[in-house]
Amino acid sequence: MELPKDSKTDLHSEEFLHRLMRRQLRLSIACATTFLIALLGLPLLNYFFPELMAVRVFGFTLTWLILGVLFFPLVWLISWLFIRKSIALEEAEAADVAGEKGRGA
């Protein structure tokens, strides 16, 4: 359903919500892709580079250092970035709508 070109974009309009949801979907896919690369990358590193992953770092093998120590901060970082960017997307969309109303009035 097309909106009339002269209609003003409202903060709760379908156009606003679809645009915001599309941008948040792209952000979600990027975060999920990063997580899956990290999740699937460790077994692949163990399979293709067993000598490298057996190297001891701070008393741990590299595999356990990544899995037991570095994996959770990575997940927290991905989550923090997702929340921060999602809020920024919402604020930018709201500012765009406010700007359009200011120009249209």
In a domain, 42, yes or no: yes
Place of tokens 């997580």: 35
What range does the domain containing 71 cover? 15-95
**Total structural domains in the chain?**
1
In a domain, 2, yes or no: no
pLDDT, tens digit, for every residue of 35-86? 999 999 999 999 999 999 999 999 999 999 999 999 999 999 999 999 999 9
In a domain, 82, yes or no: yes
In a domain, 76, yes or no: yes
- Burial level of 72, CB count in 10 A (0-12/13-18/19+)? exposed
Pair 8, 82: CB distance under 8 Å: no
| pLDDT grade for 10, boundaries at 50, 70 and 90 | low
In a domain, 6, yes or no: no
Between residues 105 and 80, the one the model is more confident about: 80
Residue 104: predicted pLDDT: 62
In a domain, 3, yes or no: no
Q: What is the pTM of this model?
A: 0.75
In a domain, 27, yes or no: yes
Pair 18, 99: CB distance under 8 Å: no
